[in-house]
């Protein structure tokens, strides 16, 4: 089933990455293109594009045909300067895909929650190793689990997205609105996979709880908190939360065969994906700007950025008698989950994929290279994050001296 395989983004990464112990180069201030809402409309690069831009478009066109994607949106920058921005294929039959279209951002929101948590910790409003019970006394295992364990997914909580009962309920009613209480009932029905902090497994439940904790710590609704601390400072005017399945127009439409027949899934209710207030939609220009900012630690101090990239997950996982390796996956210095981000082959990224949408935002500090891709699936598309596949191919072409995230 595409959703269960692909939403846990770390599962599809069989990758080795360069060590992050060295200094990470920051993009020079003022080099990023002005985001939408600050004097720049997200439009395609000139059709006469040549050189690297033409090479990227050629890769995208071939990959889209090979993987049977309906649409591809992409934007690539180097040193904050645009190389190419484009929309290929169709949003719907007869409706061309354009870079101005909006789509669901999925796990990009957990990156923003991780950044916000680190900011609040630096302001002494909370401690990373505070027990969750300080903020959410009624949360499952609240005395055993810390804020750090929520952010780096070492709590031991089961992932409701892999629970057959949840999957059956979701597929039976894709327009259903889910509350945090309903979502958390699934992991609460299982014992912890391991003693919190001693192993690693991806769980959406961690980020449902983290969103609630951030509201308690800050005294603000999560949507306002993320707007003030992340989207606002970065000028991400096309990135916003919605408490309904609404997507601001123009919309990139999605289709999937997850329930059997190939059908439109654009407005399936995404309330199950993460914490209320962090169910984001975005645009491709915002996504590449986000890749640059996350990959350079723009919103964090150097110390907090180092923590984001490796909060202690390296060395965890690998499977035990109680937690199979397919769940408790191995984290290494080269390939690990940070505080809401993936660190793979020296790239800093996240790659949401669900309900017919796939995307990736990735940044390679060694080359100051940012790649953002969003795709929608055709009827014969493989059960994989096709945006990640395309991103890997672009990465190989533009940074041949560095392994792409999706290579061993």
pLDDT of 406 above 60? yes
For the chain, the first-to-last Cα distance in angstroms comes to 24
Rounded Cα distance, 320 and 65, in Å: 41
CB 265 within 8 A of CB 247: no
CB 348 within 8 A of CB 295: yes
What is residue 29's predicted lDDT score, i.e. its pLDDT?
A: 30
Q: What is the mean pLDDT of residues 319-338?
A: 95
Residue 136, both tokens: 């959410």
Rounded Cα distance, 381 and 362, in Å: 22
In terms of phi and psi (left: phi > 0; alpha: psi -120 to 50; beta: otherwise), the region of 156 is left
**18-56 burial by CB neighbour count: b if 16+ within 10 A, else e?**
bebeeebeebeeeebbebbbeeeebebbeeebeeebebb
pTM of the model: 0.91
Rounded Cα distance, 144 and 136, in Å: 12
pLDDT of 5 above 50? no
Average of per-residue pLDDT values in the chain: 90
pLDDT of 13 above 70? no
DSSP string, 114-157: HHHHHHHHHTTS--TT-BGGGT-TTSTTTTT-BHHHHHTT-S-P
Instruction: Kindly report, residue by residue over 84-125, the tens digit of the pLDDT.
Output: 999 999 999 999 999 999 999 999 999 999 999 999 999 999
Given CA atoms 351, 225, 302, 147 in this order, what sign does their dihedral have?
negative
Q: What is the mean pLDDT of residues 227-232?
A: 98
What is residue 49's predicted lDDT score, i.e. its pLDDT?
A: 63
CA atoms within 13 A on the CB side of 331: 27
Q: What is the mean pLDDT of residues 309-327?
A: 95
Share of the chain above pLDDT 90, in %: 87
Share of the chain above pLDDT 70, in %: 89
Rounded Cα distance, 326 and 341, in Å: 19
Instruction: Kindly report, residue by residue over 365-376, the tens digit of the pLDDT.
Output: 999 999 999 999
Residues in the chain: 408
pLDDT of 232 above 80? yes
C-alpha pair distances (Å), 392 with each of 95, 134, 138 = 27, 42, 42
Q: What is the mean pLDDT of residues 197-214?
A: 98
pLDDT of 19 above 80? no
């Amino acid at each position: 089933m595409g959703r269960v395989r692909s939403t846990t983004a770390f599962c599809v990464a069989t990758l080795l990455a360069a060590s992050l112990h060295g200094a990470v180069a920051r993009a020079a201030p003022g080099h990023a293109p002005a985001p939408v809402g600050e004097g720049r409309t997200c439009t395609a690069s000139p059709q006469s594009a040549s050189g690297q831009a033409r090479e990227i478009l050629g890769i995208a066109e071939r990959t889209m045909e090979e993987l049977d994607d309906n649409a591809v949106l992409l934007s690539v920058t180097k040193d904050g300067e645009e190389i190419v921005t484009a929309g290929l294929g169709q949003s719907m039959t007869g409706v061309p895909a354009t870079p101005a279209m909006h789509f669901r951002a999925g796990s990009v929101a957990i990156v923003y929650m991780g950044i916000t948590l680190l900011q609040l910790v630096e302001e002494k409003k909370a401690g990373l190793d505070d027990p969750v019970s300080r903020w959410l006394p009624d949360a499952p295992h609240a005395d055993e689990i810390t804020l750090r364990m929520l952010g780096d997914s070492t709590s031991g909580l089961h992932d409701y997205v892999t629970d057959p009962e949840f999957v059956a309920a979701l597929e039976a009613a894709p327009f259903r609105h889910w509350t945090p209480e309903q979502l958390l009932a699934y992991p609460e029905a299982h014992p912890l996979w391991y003693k919190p902090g001693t192993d690693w497994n991806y769980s959406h439940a961690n980020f449902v709880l983290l969103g609630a904790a951030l509201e308690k710590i800050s005294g603000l609704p999560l949507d306002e908190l993320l707007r003030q601390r992340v989207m606002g400072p970065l000028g991400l005017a096309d990135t916003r939360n919605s408490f309904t399945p609404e997507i601001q127009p123009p919309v990139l439409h999605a289709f999937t065969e997850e329930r059997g027949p190939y059908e439109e899934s654009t407005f399936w209710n995404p309330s199950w994906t993460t914490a209320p207030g962090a169910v984001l939609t975005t645009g491709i220009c915002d996504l590449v700007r986000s890749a640059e900012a996350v990959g350079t630690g723009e919103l964090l101090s150097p110390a907090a950025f180092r923590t984001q990239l490796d909060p202690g997950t390296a060395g965890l996982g690998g499977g035990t008698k109680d937690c199979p390796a397919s769940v408790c996956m191995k984290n290494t210095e080269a390939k690990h989950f940070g505080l809401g981000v993936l660190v793979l082959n020296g790239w800093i990224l996240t790659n949401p994929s669900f309900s017919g949408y796939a995307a990736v935002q990735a940044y390679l500090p060694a080359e100051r290279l940012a790649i953002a891709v969003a795709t929608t699936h055709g009827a014969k598309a493989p059960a994989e994050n096709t945006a990640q596949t395309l991103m890997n191919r672009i990465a190989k072409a533009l940074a041949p001296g560095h392994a792409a995230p999706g290579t061993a």
